[in-house]
Structure 1
Amino acid sequence: MGRICTAQNFPYILAAVFAVFFGLMGINPVSREVWIAEVIPVAAIFILLCITFPFFRFSNVSYGLMAVWLFWHTIGGHYTFAGVPFEWVTDLFGFERNHFDRIGHYSVGFYAYPIAELFVRRKLAGPIVTTLFALFAIMSVAAAYEIIEWQYAVVEGGQAGIEFLGSQGDIWDAQKDMFADTLGAITTLILFWVFGKRWGSHG
């Protein structure tokens, strides 16, 4: 068992655990339409990481950070983000809405870390350009996803459209989501430059 659970095998174990988890979360979701829409980007990123693994292996820290969003978004797809049983957090902090989705957006920003790692290890740019590119990449993806959510809600309509949009009555939901994405990126970029070399993320 000790030989299996090593740092070298971490990505394989993580991928296997996620694959099983993904399958379980696909059983009897609250809304099959919402589940399909939500897991498309999850499946796409997971498959992309599997395909690129033989050609570029990120650090275990990067894979761990990327996995946070994969797991979180998969849970949201199963329950719908507004319907995830997250009441204990809502009650604990006195929130007026379910912030499970907001944390999910924050975790999207974690992908700035592997982007920065790719640039540093491939020597594609200096620290400033690397940081700005990673940050702006996340901000661009965040904005694009909000547009996709909006269009899906318009085209699909009905309850599925509302659940996928997940605004929960907040007129500033899109802006707050993008801000959460950006904060996640800033947080992990700070971690990358402060601790990344020690964590083996600089090559």
Structure 2
Amino acid sequence: MVNSRTNGYIQTLIAALVVIIGLLVYSGLNAYDRLTWLMEVIPVLIALPILARTYRSFPLTSLLYGAIFIHMIVLIFGGMYTYARVPLGFEIAQWLDIDRNPYDKIGHFMQGFAPALIAREILIRGDYVNGWRMLNFIVICIVLAISASYELIEWATALWMGQGADEFLGTQGYVWDTQSDMFFALIGASAAIVCCARLHDRLIQRMSKYDYSR
């Protein structure tokens, strides 16, 4: 029997799904560059069916769903405007008195934050790691591996498209863009561990009743 609390949780997830799909459609129709938009939102297009398919067999904590939701929004707007043109980034640049749009660093921060919680949840619920020190170490390693893989994809895209990849890369002439992208992913992962570990642990304990034997 589905109680009111569970029903409200499901309704919230459905509402979030509707918002994401709506933003995907809107951003695609209003994209600055359609190819760049597609490349930027591919992670969203891949994640949505996976999340829907695994909801019953492996539902995630509300914290993780929330982090994924925010990450998707960051990706969608980055794809719609291209990262160098997102209006929020210009506002931040003006506030910080810097000469480049830093919205891509928000994207890479979330590229560390959300995957860190994903890795944490899978490792804890699967009982794959013993001890919080080893858990944190492996989570950081996973996030940096994901970040490095993404930078390799950007490199391959640059070789394939040449100058046409400028919108996707969003380096804005910054020579240390690759290194700083990985650094912000590291900051995001560290923030997830330091700020959310206790809450995440409590939510995982509450979610244990939804786990099914595989």
Shared fold by TM > 0.5? yes
| Cα distance change on mapping 1:141 and 1:197 into 2, 3 Å | closer
Offset at residue 20 of structure 1 (A): 1.2
Deviation readout 1:101-126 (Å, 9 max, x if unpaired): 10110011122112212221222212
What's the counterpart of residue 29 of structure 1? Answer: 31
After TM superposition, the runs of 4+ consecutive aligned structure 1 residues lying more than 4 A away are 2-5
Q: Report the RMSD for the aligned CA atoms in angstroms.
A: 1.9
Matches within 5 A, 1:1-203: 6-85=8-87, 86-110=89-113, 111-126=115-130, 127-158=132-163, 160-198=164-202, 200-202=203-205, 203=208
Conserved in 2, the CA contact under 8 Å of 1:42 and 1:70? yes
If each structure's helix is expressed as a fraction of its own residues, which one has the higher value? 2
How many positions carry a matched residue from both structures? 200
Query: Which range moves more in the overlay, 5-14 or 96-105?
Result: 5-14
Q: 5+ residue gaps in structure 2?
A: 209-214
How far apart in 2 are the matches of 1:7 and 1:46?
17
Q: 5+ residue gaps in structure 1?
A: none
Give TM-score scaled by structure 1 length: 0.91
